[in-house]
Amino acid sequence: MKEIEYEYIEEDLSNKSSLLLQYNPIYQKVPVLVHNGRPIIESVVILQYIDETWKHNPIFPDDPYEKAETLFWAKFGDDKLLASLWSAFIKQGKEKEEAITEAVENIKIIEGLLNGKNFFGGEKIGFLDFCLGWICNLVSVLDDITGLKTIDEEQFPLLSAWMKNFSTSPITKDTWPPRDRLVSRLLYVRDAVLSTDAS
């Protein structure tokens, strides 16, 4: 969207590189943006940094209140929506049922934000679209593994349309990770969590 040249370095998360540990010693997680030799960490912080450094095609609204709202929903996406979907994926029995109910409630809230809009950013893709972009591939992969149908097209028509528009947009269409690698990573993480819980 900003048409900035960059080098993308893939990270093996089961065998983290010394570069990752050097640039993100505290969390040891991706993504990390390195600009002029300095690391910028946390997706939301990276997006803000990019928008403030390269000001053309802005992704944030100008209005401070709208910007604050956008940041709030990005946090909701991580803390509530992603957390409930993840619990629905790894929990068992009653806890799983509760997590599914909570996930559906959270999806309803997100669906409501799209009322009258093509993208969370309005007519064009904005900051919140990037923050919630993971919904496009992660949810269907989790559903395939668990046999659930979390985002049903009839129940959530706006979100379903957004998933299609966002994932096929010229800005994002070549950036999605291969599905098979996402499946194997999720199964690996789930097994690791379950074996830690059992011990």
Ligand X SMILES: N[C@@H](CCC(=O)N[C@@H](CS)C(=O)NCC(=O)O)C(=O)O
The site for ligand X (CB under 6 A) is made up of 13, 28-31, 42-43
In whole angstroms, the minimum distance from the beta carbon of 62 to ligand X comes to 24
Question: Measured from the CB of residue 132, what is the shortest distance to ligand X in angstroms?
Answer: 12
Q: Which is nearer to ligand X, 11 or 69 (CB)?
A: 11
Tell me the closest approach of the beta carbon of residue 174 to ligand X, in angstroms. 19
Residue number, nearest CB to ligand X? 29
Residue 90 Cβ, how far from ligand X at the closest point, in Å? 14
CB nearer to ligand X: give 21 or 68. 21
DSSP assignments along the chain, one per residue: ------------TTS--HHHHHH-TTT--S-EEEETTEEEESHHHHHHHHHHHS-SS--S-SSHHHHHHHHHHHHHIIIIIIHHHHHHHH--HHHHHHHHHHHHHHHHHHHHHTTT-SBTTBSS--HHHHHHTTHHHHHHHHHHHHT---S-TTT-HHHHHHHHHHHHSTTTTT-PPPHHHHHHHHHHHHHHHHHHHH-
Nearer to ligand X, 28 or 57 (CB): 28
Of residues 19 and 161, the one with the C-beta less far from ligand X:
19
